[in-house]
Amino acid sequence: MRKMRMNQAVATALADEMRDNPDVVMFGEDIAVAEGPFKTSAGLLKEFGSSRVRDTPISEMGFLGAAVGAASTGLRPVVEIMFIEFIGVALDQLVTEAAKFHYLSRGTVSVPLTVRGSIGAGLGFGCQHSQTLESWMYSTPGVKLAVASGAHNAYGLLRAAIRDDNPVVFLEPRALYAKREPVQRGEEGIIPLGQAATVREGSDVTVVALGAMVPTALQAVEATSWSAEVIDLQTLVPYDKGALLESVAKTGRLVTVEENPLTGGWGGEITAFVAGELFADLEAPPVRITCPDIHVPYGKELEQRYLPGPDYVSAQIGSLLDTGTRPPHWWESQEVMA
């Protein structure tokens, strides 16, 4: 398996799908001539031409809407939302149009649309370019949602997203674009939507993470006195209920690690589901490790403070295992805020 950066894995997945299927087209700002601000479409214009790889005006509602129309009539478009916040001006087309067309056509129209967006904090882009925003989309029936946590599943999940006959939001943590890891290419590298990956086996606690929090969680549970099972959710809608239940039934403890504000984050849904199913098996309250309910701050130190880091995640899990009670969030502590 060749090692690739995550942005190369994205470009490779796009190229492989475009080679396989002439209906796959791409729209986005600066994706063709400039090959994407994060180089996620390197080489695509040259290989596939300007009919299939289209630079757009700065006009998300226009080109996302056009992608909905193209997807409804026979193409399989992939749209790039440069920073996921930019979907705010186009959200209608995703959640009110694309999500409902299959239903509102009695199944005669499908919308095989992939909406890629870069997400996340850590690179100093400020609070309007650093959110993850899964919570804006995960409660819309009709839309699927997957999040990459590295080059390997960026390739595999993106190819599955493009092949899916539904609108799929595919989120790519910007902080991981430059990270290299081995990537399984080809059909065998495709990762079906709806499957979680157990990226580390363990027996004391189940740690569920998504996107950039997967490498954070893995780092957090290394070299500890306890044994953590780490699950990369990979797909948030629909999420892998079976994998969660199987793991928590074994460990008796659930921790979610989320790069999003506490309120409305996906961990609340996961926690409610698992606790509802396995209440009697739980040996401790489920714990959510999240960002505070504030905007992403700009300065490097504050931004790292905002994000759950490996040391913090490790300390929270350790405290849960020691005390059997929910440790306070860091911002709930008097000393920190003083």
Partner 1 sequence: MSGANASLDRRLHLKSSRPARYEAMFEIRAFEDRVQAMFFEGLVHGTTHTCQGQEAVSVGIAAAARPTDKVTCTYRGHGHALALGMPPLTVLAEIMGRRIGSVGGLGGSMHLCDMSVGLLPTFAIVGAGIPVAAGAAVTAQVKGTDGAAIAIFGDGAANIGAFHEGLNLAAIWKLPAVFICENNQYGEYSAIHLTTPVENIADRAASYGMPGEVVDGQDVDTVEAAVAGALARARAGEGPSLLEMKTYRYAGHSRADTAPYRPEGEFDRWYERDPINTYRRRLIDDGDLTEEEAGRIEARVTARIAEAEAEASAADQATVEDMFTNIHAP
User: Which residues are identified as catalytic?
Assistant: 60, 129
Which one, 79 or 208, has the nearer CB to partner 1?
79
CA separation for the pair 178, 168 (Å, rounded): 24
Task: State which residue, 105 or 203, has the beta carbon closest to partner 1.
Answer: 105
User: At its nearest, how many Å lie between partner 1 and the CB of residue 81?
Assistant: 14
**CA-CA distance, 5 to 12, in Å (whole number)?**
10
Which of the residues 64 through 83 are near partner 1 (CB under 8 A)?
A: 64-75, 77
Task: Find how far residue 133's CA is from the centre of its chain.
Answer: 9
Other C-beta atoms lying within 10 Å of the C-beta of residue 178: 12
Q: How big is the CA angle at 293 (ends 288 and 295), to the nearest 5 degrees?
A: 130
**Contacts of 59 by beta carbon, 8 Å cutoff, 6+ apart:** none
Compute the distance between CA of residue 106 and CA of residue 98 in angstroms, rounded to an integer: 14
Task: State which of positions 131-170 bind partner 1 (CB under 8 A).
Answer: 141-142, 144, 165-166
Per DSSP bridges, beta strands 254-261 and 228-232 are unpaired
Cβ closest to partner 1, residue 22 vs residue 299: 22
Q: Which is nearer to partner 1, 36 or 112 (CB)?
A: 112
Question: Distance between CA 275 and CA 301 in Å, rounded?
Answer: 35
Which residues is 28 bridged to in the sheet? 55, 80
- Among 14, 26, 63, 80, contact with partner 1 (rule: CB under 8 A): 63
The answer to whether 37 contacts partner 1 (rule: CB under 8 A) is no
Min dist CB 25 to partner 1, Å, is 6
x/- map, 83-122, partner 1, by CB under 8 A: ------x--xx--xx--xxxxxxxxxxxxx----------
Q: Work out how close the CB of 88 gets to partner 1 at its nearest, in angstroms, rounded to a whole number.
A: 12
Question: For residues 184-203, which are near partner 1 according to CB under 8 A?
Answer: none
Residue 254, strand partner residues: 206
Binding footprint of partner 1 on the chain (CB under 8 A): 25, 51-52, 54, 56-57, 59, 61-75, 77, 89, 92-93, 96-97, 100-112, 141-142, 144, 165-166
